[in-house]
Structures are given as structure tokens and as C-alpha cells.
């Protein structure tokens, strides 16, 4: 039986569903987002440094399934699975179904992508809406593109970067200014800005958040809210930051040690010393997928005649170097910020391999997939039969 996308989604669903229950504590930035999700339900403003929609999925989960690990994480697990499917459809349009499946497996088992779409974190919803925007753009449904880019921003402010990627790509391909083009662009911007700001305004009016440092005591409109978000981002200095936060290290093999989001050994509940197993969530490990960024020059070379390669070049080119600028400006940056680029890296690497002999390409892809799956098994969060 031939392996298909539905088989991959079934495997992912089983693994991710199993891991929902480990641990029963909050992990990494869940410490911020789950309390914020509870506050959304209670009508209390909190975690204003990020837009509210990404946390609303956890609120929905809590309402539907209770304030427990299922309510916290199940919505993000479903979003992660949806991302893989939407990505596969997008990749199929660029490289065909066979190589799209390769790309989808690469993406699915990249450690950073996997972890950030299994825990209650904001990156998954932001990426899902961005991928939908990319698909609608390719279908020339530009107004829906604007809508989903706006929704991406409402999940996490990284949505702005996705909008910039598509704007640069579109302007490169459409340099001639026409009256019809100006009209479409104006409507596009109106939809994008409205989708970004009107829900934020409704949130501010409903929750009346109190803040300091932005010239007002209570945020009452989206411009004040955006100013607060910007001031917060500027306040994140690098004092005491880990050396692994330097962006150049993110793509150099073995330049980073595994970054543990959560780690604990589990012992018998009766207090006995017997260890049942361990739970270790490694958010950033040996990011095999990230190392494919070294194929970027070849991808850029192909972009001269290949529109899909051009889009992927811009996607990678804006998703990684932008953090060098932030780093130089004194803002702390984190390795998982490469999350945004993981789909483009998975697809871009496959795109470059089209230049190879098919047999050589298959051997290379099989080796890369085997290596990634081996590392995935090595860093699998739950170890120990006593926990099963």
C-alpha cells in the first residue's frame, strides 16, 4: 500500500493525541497563555503584548473540554494537523504530490514545528492562517488572502511578516501600475487593516485593559494597543540572554545545545524510589530542517525563472535575517523564531533537489528523512514503559 498524506495525518494524530497528557503541568509559554485564556473567559484583560485570537483557541478548549490538558492542548494539536494538510496542498501545487509528501514528513517531524504545534502556543494558529492566505493568493482570491493575513496577525504579531513576504512577492511580479491594480490593492489593504484592527478594538472596548508606559491608563483603541505591543517588544533587552539566542547559531550544525522546555522524572505515586519514566520536552534540539537554509543560494538562483522558488526565497529571506536586525537593535531573540520558516525550508529544499537526478534525489531525501526521524525518536518527550 502506497504511503499517502492521510497515513501521515493519522500517524501524527495518534502521536500528538498521546502526548497531550504529558505532562499535566504547564510547559514553556503555556505559563502565560493558559492564564490569559482563562482571563478571556472571565472578561479580564491580560497578556496584552500579543493579540488575543491565538489564546482564544485555548479558551474554547477550556469551555468545551474543561480546564485541563485536553482543553488546553487539543485545539492546538488539531491546528498542527491542519497545518500539515494545508501545507501538503500548497506543496503539491509547487512540486507535485510525491515530493509534497516528502516535504510534509520533513515538516511534521521537525522538532521545533512538532513541539510548537503540540503545546498551547501561539505560533501554530498564526502559521495556519498564513498558509491559508498563501493558498488563496495562488488562487488569485486576493480579498480572502487579506482576511487570513489579518487573522494570522490576530494570533501573533508575526502575521505582519507573512504579509510583507506576500507584498514583496506580488510587487516583484506586478511592477506595472494600473488603475484596476490600485483599486484592488486599496480594497486589499482595507480588508487587511480592518481584520487586524477592528477585532482588537472590540477587545479593548470590552475588556478595558489597564497599562503603564504608553501615555494612557486604559487602552481604548487599537492604535494604543499596537503602541503597547511595540513598547513591550522594545523592552525585551538582551541582558543575561543565552548565547544560543544569536541568530547565526540557529543554522550551524551542533552550535546549539538542546533547549529544554520541560523536564522531570516520574516516580511511583506512593513515594517509592522506583522511576517510572521521564518527560522531557525539547523545544529546540538539532534542527535538521533549519540546516537546509544552506540551499537558499540555489533556491534564489532558481527564482530567476521559477515563481514558486521566488516566493520561497522571500519567505526564508524575511523569516530569518529579520532577527539579525532585531538582535543588532538590542532585542532578545529566540531560536524558535525560526518556526515561521520551517514550511519554506522543507519545501525549498525539495524544490532545489529537482535539479538532481531523480535517483540521487530519492537517496538524498530518504537519508534526510531517516536522520530526522531518528532524532525525533531520540528526543521523543515521553520515555519509560511505566508511563504508558
Q: pTM of the predicted model, to two decimals?
A: 0.93
Instruction: Read off the pLDDT of residues 321-336 as tens digits, 9 standing for 90 and up.
Output: 888 888 888 788 888 8
Confidence of residue 273 (pLDDT cuts 50, 70, 90): low
Neighbours of 216 (CB within 10 A): 14
Classify 230 as helix, strand or coil.
Answer: helix
Three-class SS string for 140-180?
Answer: CCHHHHHHHHHHHHHHCCCHHHHHHHHHHHHHHHCCCCCHH
Is residue 280 over pLDDT 70? yes
Looking at residue 269, what is its pLDDT?
62
Please provide the distance, in angstroms rounded to a whole number, between the alpha carbons at the two ends of the chain: 30
Q: What is the reported pLDDT for 388? A: 55
**What percentage of residues in the chain have a pLDDT greater than 70?**
91
pLDDT digits over 32-53, tens only? Answer: 999 999 999 999 999 999 999 9
pLDDT tens by residue, 290-330: 778 888 888 888 888 889 999 999 999 888 888 888 888 87
Residue 119: pLDDT over 80: yes
Given a cut of 90, whether residue 155 has pLDDT beyond it is yes
Long-range contacts of 293-301 (CB under 8 A, 24+ apart): 293/251, 293/320, 293/341, 293/345, 294/251, 295/348, 295/349, 295/352, 296/348, 298/352, 298/355, 299/348, 299/351, 299/352
The lowest-confidence range among 43-57, 214-228, 264-278, 358-372 is: 264-278
pLDDT grade for 200, boundaries at 50, 70 and 90: very high
Instruction: Give the pLDDT score at 284.
Output: 75
Q: What is the pLDDT of residue 264?
A: 81
In this prediction, residue 303 carries a pLDDT of 86
Between strands 259-267 and 275-284, the pairing is: antiparallel
Q: For 167-190, what is the mean pLDDT?
A: 90
Select from 87, 118, 79 the least CA-distant residue to 103.
Answer: 87
Q: How confident is the model at residue 386 (pLDDT cuts 50, 70, 90)?
A: low
C-alpha span between 201 and 215 (Å, rounded)? 18
Amino acid at each position: 500500500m502506497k504511503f499517502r498524506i492521510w497515513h501521515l495525518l493519522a500517524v501524527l494524530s495518534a502521536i500528538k493525541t498521546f502526548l497531550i497528557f504529558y505532562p499535566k503541568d504547564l510547559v514553556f509559554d503555556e505559563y502565560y497563555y493558559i492564564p490569559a485564556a482563562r482571563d478571556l473567559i472571565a472578561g479580564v484583560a491580560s497578556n496584552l503584548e500579543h493579540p488575543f485570537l491565538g489564546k482564544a483557541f485555548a479558551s474554547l478548549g477550556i469551555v468545551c473540554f474543561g480546564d485541563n490538558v485536553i482543553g488546553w492542548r487539543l485545539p492546538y494539536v488539531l491546528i498542527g494537523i491542519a497545518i500539515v494538510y494545508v501545507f501538503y496542498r500548497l506543496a503539491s501545487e509547487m512540486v507535485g504530490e510525491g515530493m509534497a509528501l516528502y516535504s510534509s514528513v520533513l515538516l511534521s517531524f521537525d522538532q521545533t514545528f512538532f513541539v510548537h504545534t503540540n503545546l498551547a502556543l501561539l505560533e501554530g494558529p498564526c502559521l495556519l492562517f498564513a498558509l491559508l492566505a498563501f493558498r488563496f493568493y495562488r488562487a488569485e482570491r486576493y480579498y480572502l488572502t487579506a482576511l487570513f493575513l489579518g487573522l494570522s496577525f490576530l494570533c501573533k504579531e508575526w502575521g505582519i511578516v507573512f504579509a510583507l513576504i506576500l507584498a514583496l512577492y506580488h510587487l516583484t511580479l506586478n511592477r506595472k501600475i494600473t488603475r484596476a491594480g490600485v483599486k484592488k490593492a486599496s480594497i486589499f489593504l482595507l480588508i487587511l487593516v480592518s481584520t487586524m484592527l477592528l477585532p482588537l478594538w472590540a477587545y479593548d472596548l470590552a475588556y478595558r485593559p489597564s497599562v503603564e508606559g504608553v501615555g494612557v491608563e486604559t487602552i481604548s483603541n487599537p492604535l494604543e494597543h499596537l503602541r503597547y505591543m511595540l513598547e513591550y517588544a522594545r523592552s525585551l533587552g538582551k541582558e543575561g540572554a543565552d548565547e544560543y539566542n544569536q541568530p547565526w547559531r540557529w543554522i550551524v550544525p551542533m552550535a546549539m545545545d538542546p533547549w529544554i522546555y520541560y523536564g522531570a522524572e516520574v516516580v511511583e505515586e506512593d513515594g517509592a524510589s522506583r522511576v517510572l519514566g521521564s518527560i522531557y520536552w525539547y523545544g529546540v534540539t538539532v534542527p535538521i530542517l533549519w540546516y537546509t537554509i544552506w540551499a537558499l543560494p540555489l533556491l534564489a538562483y532558481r527564482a530567476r525563472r521559477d515563481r514558486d522558488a521566488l516566493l520561497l526565497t522571500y519567505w526564508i529571506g524575511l523569516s530569518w535575517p529579520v532577527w539579525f536586525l532585531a538582535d543588532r537593535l538590542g532585542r532578545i531573540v529566540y531560536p524558535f523564531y525560526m518556526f515561521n520558516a520551517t514550511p519554506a525550508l522543507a519545501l525549498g529544499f525539495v524544490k532545489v533537489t529537482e535539479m538532481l537526478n531523480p535517483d540521487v534525489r530519492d537517496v538524498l531525501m530518504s537519508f534526510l528523512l531517516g536522520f530526522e526521524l531518528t532524532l525525533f525518536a531520540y528526543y521523543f518527550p515521553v520515555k519509560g514503559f511505566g508511563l504508558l
